[in-house]
Amino acid sequence: MAKTMAQLPYHYGVKVRVFPSTEQKRLIKRNSDASRFIYNQMNGMNNDLFWLKQVKIPITIVLDRIADLTKRLRKPSTAISNIHGWLNHPDFDSLMKANAIKNYKTAWKLFRQVHQAGTPKFHKRGYTQTYQTSCLYSAKITVPSMNNGSVRLTDTHHLWLPKLGRFHFKGFPSHLLSRADDVRVGTITVSMDAVGHYFVSLQMGSEYPFVGKQRVAKSKVGIDLNLDNFLTDSNGQVIANPRYYRMIKGKLAKAQRKLSRRARRAKKGQRRLSESKNYQKQRLLVAKLQLKVANQRKNFLHHISTTLIKNHDLVVAEELRSKNMLRDHALAMSISDVGWRTLLGMLSYKADLYGRKFLTVNPRNTTQTCSHCGHIMTGKNKLTLADRKWTCPSCGTFHVRDHNAAKNVLAKGLATL
């Protein structure tokens, strides 16, 4: 019997851009809308059940409604499809329905594990589209691969998806195309961004590593993340902060003001924004500017994280809580622009992928401590953000602030190990 995705030891994710036909775009939109509708129906039934259970008086109509909702939530897919018959149309992927329900249950699971995530909310209609489906394999297939499931590669440039058919795609890693026979496909996400680009994300699993074994680098590094320079490591290397958002902020603000004026004009003329061509043209321009910044930042962070992981056996960083730091309105924009949490997430999964070690440590006193003698600057001598260089009053060692902090981060990581 073939192993499930959870049982496979190695996992990998690939996101490729696809180029659907007009009919395929229509089907993607229908499935995306249906997925959102099913999610919201699940949320609505659970909300009704919760508030009805707050009624302590045994009212017959309330008890009947609680019993009905409880019965529906046992088999929600069948219940929702029976009530809303249009969901049985052949345009809809049955696995899309199952994944929408699964995602709702996962949202509750996350809330119970991490209460900061919040309870599931109703999904609003927007300019993006997304839904999930799964790859099915026949019971006769003993070795599932990328070429024999319901989602499969028909050749090196075309992908087959349930209900949608054949897509042309680009951006698939060439080293995976050559080993399609030992890679199994799991969950698939079909999406469209605000600009109108379509993507397919594939979750893949295998018995064998997706990345070749890396040589032993015999190197350990600590990194200090800051706003003056994006990153300083314990070896003294400094990476400048590109500040992508700041570079485009003026142009984006001007485009957004123009968008706001066109929205007011459309509402004054009693036209829907979806029917206002001038508004939609400007909305697309704003979305492209925002997408450009996001792509530039993501590309920069990928290069930095891959270089760090490939060249060092151990990478140690500060455990930064960006959500708390964003409360400082003077620094909120700069903190959002650098993408620290995204970098830490990339370092974490790439360390597993390449067989390296990545640790995060408590940043307490990493800046105020002398890496040479361990003296901590306190009271009147405590360093401020303006102090970029300082001399230890205990041992007289001269420090560059960020380099010293990176050394302390690495020392904390080694102590943890």
Using the 8-state DSSP alphabet, how is residue 376 labeled? B
Tokens at 168, concatenated: 């042309």
318 is catalytic: yes
Given a contact cutoff of 8 angstroms between Cβ atoms, the answer to whether 70 and 39 are in contact is no
Name the catalytic one among 93, 233, 337, 402. 402
The crossing angle, in degrees rounded to 10, of helices 76-83 and 94-113 is 130
Given a contact cutoff of 8 angstroms between Cβ atoms, the answer to whether 364 and 373 are in contact is no
What Cα–Cα distance (Å) separates residue 123 from each residue in 36, 80, 99?
6, 17, 15
Q: Which residues contact 79 (CB under 8 A, 6 or more apart)?
A: 71, 72, 73
Name the catalytic one among 318, 328, 337, 352. 318
C-alpha–C-alpha distance, residues 369 and 407, integer Å: 10
Q: Which residues contact 338 (CB under 8 A, 6 or more apart)?
A: 225, 227, 230, 241
387 is catalytic: no
C-alpha–C-alpha distance, residues 273 and 365, integer Å: 52
Name the catalytic one among 93, 224, 233, 337. 224
Catalytic residue numbers read 224, 318, 402
